[in-house]
Amino acid sequence: MPLRKFACLPVGHDEIPKVSKPRKKTIARIKQSNPQKKDSLVEYIVNVFFKYDPAMKKQFSVISLSTVKLFTSLSYEISVDVQKGKNAIDISILGLNTRQSYYVSPNPATTELLFENLFGKYTVNVFKQDGSINSAMFDFNIYKKEIKLSEISLPKKKNNRVFTQFEVTTESFSFK
């Protein structure tokens, strides 16, 4: 049976035109862009804690990002882009993705970022796609089993606003 062509090409065109892909903003571009003026509203909560994974038999420092808003009909996870530098961790929020779940209950959208060997002071920068930036400095000390939130800052930028709440959740700590 011969193959059928589903669409006829216009006269003079030998190949199918390509559809452009949407461009994802890189962290460098987000740092340069200026957000639109909006009111400050806390939309995300960043929790930082230590977690031991018994399956991998490793100790991790976890940065957990969750929404303040609860979703009732579907389970969502936050899609992020992460860059870890010498003393900084940049987290760019890309959007929400649905998560496969048979049991749905009112939950926030979440994501957990696992890091090995975080020791000392790290600045955690959270970026939104519109260009807003929120920052906090954490002091990680695995030997004393503590994380300290030393500073929360709002970088100088036109129309920058607070959209993130930073916390250290000691009740979530797990060690071996």
Residue 15 lies in a domain: no
Tens of pLDDT along 118-141?
999 999 999 998 889 999 999 999
Distance of CA 7 to the CA centre of its chain: 41
Q: Count how many domains the chain has.
A: 1
User: Can you give the pTM of this predicted structure?
Assistant: 0.81
Residue 150 lies in a domain: yes
* Distance of alpha carbon 139 from alpha carbon 148, whole angstroms: 5
Residue 115 lies in a domain: yes
Quote the mean pLDDT of the chain: 86
Residue 136 lies in a domain: yes
* Distance of alpha carbon 140 from alpha carbon 162, whole angstroms: 24
Closest by CA to 140, choosing from 59, 79, 67, is 59
- Which residues are CB-neighbours of 117 under 8 A, at least 6 positions away? none
In the prediction, which pLDDT does 34 show?
81
Buried b (16+ CB within 10 A) or exposed e, 9-39: eeeeeeeeeeeeeeeebeeeebbeeebeeee
> Are the C-beta atoms of residues 157 and 122 closer than 8 Å to each other?
no
Residue 75 lies in a domain: yes
Residue 16 lies in a domain: no
* Distance of alpha carbon 2 from alpha carbon 163, whole angstroms: 58
Residues of the domain holding 147: 41-172
Residue 12 lies in a domain: no
Tens of pLDDT along 64-97?
999 999 988 888 999 999 999 999 999 999 999 9
Residue 32 lies in a domain: no
In the prediction, which pLDDT does 23 show?
59
